Amino acid sequence: MPLNPRQLRMYRFKVDVYRLLPAPSQGAMGLYAPDPHQAGVPCYFDPTPEYDQPSAVGRNKVENIFTLDGFWFPGEYLPEGGDADVPVDVVDTDMLIMRSVVGPMTSLIGIWWAAKGNAQPHPYLLDDYMVYAKRTGTKPPPGVSA
């Protein structure tokens, strides 16, 4: 089903989700697929505020291990150019990259986050899922060129 009016207002950001390749019997481990697992996934970005360095885009300290930003996703969405509903599929170790933003947060485009844990149902919005993710910077993960 297409997003309802509440979801259209809420899920105004878009991310691409990249997934680790299956570990080969020989060769390098820890490589991500060069193409997104899911592209253009609508989401709501919930940044963690930076108390000692205020910023509209949340905490900027990549090395701070305690800083996790939240991503809220609809349970299902209609992908761009698609004709069927697709469930949101984000798991631990997935990498998220911000592709489009709404408002003054354009500096988030091209920033990568590492998902910490699988998508969990949101306790108050039953059809929605939430993922916490750690900001990793602008460098793509191994195996991804852009």
Cβ-Cβ contacts under 8 Å for 135 (sequence gap 6 or more):
58, 59, 60, 62, 67, 69, 111, 112, 113
Report the C-alpha gap between 3 and 75 in whole angstroms. Answer: 10
Higher pLDDT residue, 29 or 109? Answer: 109
> CA-CA distances (angstroms) from residue 12 to 67, 75, 102, 106?
23, 15, 6, 13
- How far apart CA 47 and CA 61 sit, in angstroms, is 12
Identity at 121, one-letter amino acid code:
P
Model confidence band, residue 34 (pLDDT cutoffs 50, 70, 90): very high
Question: Which has the higher per-residue pLDDT, 82 or 115?
Answer: 115
The confidence band for 114, taking pLDDT boundaries of 50, 70 and 90, is: very high
Alpha-carbon span 71 to 108, nearest angstrom: 13
Among 70, 76, 89, residue whose Cα is nearest residue 18: 89
Percent of all residues in the chain with a pLDDT value above 90, rounded to a whole number? 32
- pTM for the whole structure: 0.81
Helix (H) or strand (E) holding 14: strand 13-18
Least confident of 22-36, 55-69, 83-97, 122-136: 55-69
User: What values do phi and psi take at 106, rounded to 5?
Assistant: -65, -20
Q: What is the mean pLDDT of residues 98-121?
A: 87
pLDDT tens digits for 52-80?
555 555 555 555 566 788 999 988 887 87
| Residue 19 vs residue 7, higher pLDDT | 19
The residues, ordered by sequence, that sit 6+ positions from 2 with a Cβ below 8 Å of its Cβ are 78
- Residues 94 and 92: their CA atoms lie apart, in Å, by 6
Whether 16 and 40 have beta carbons less than 8 Å apart is answered as yes
Average pLDDT score over the chain: 80
pLDDT in tens, 87-108: 889 999 999 999 988 777 788 8
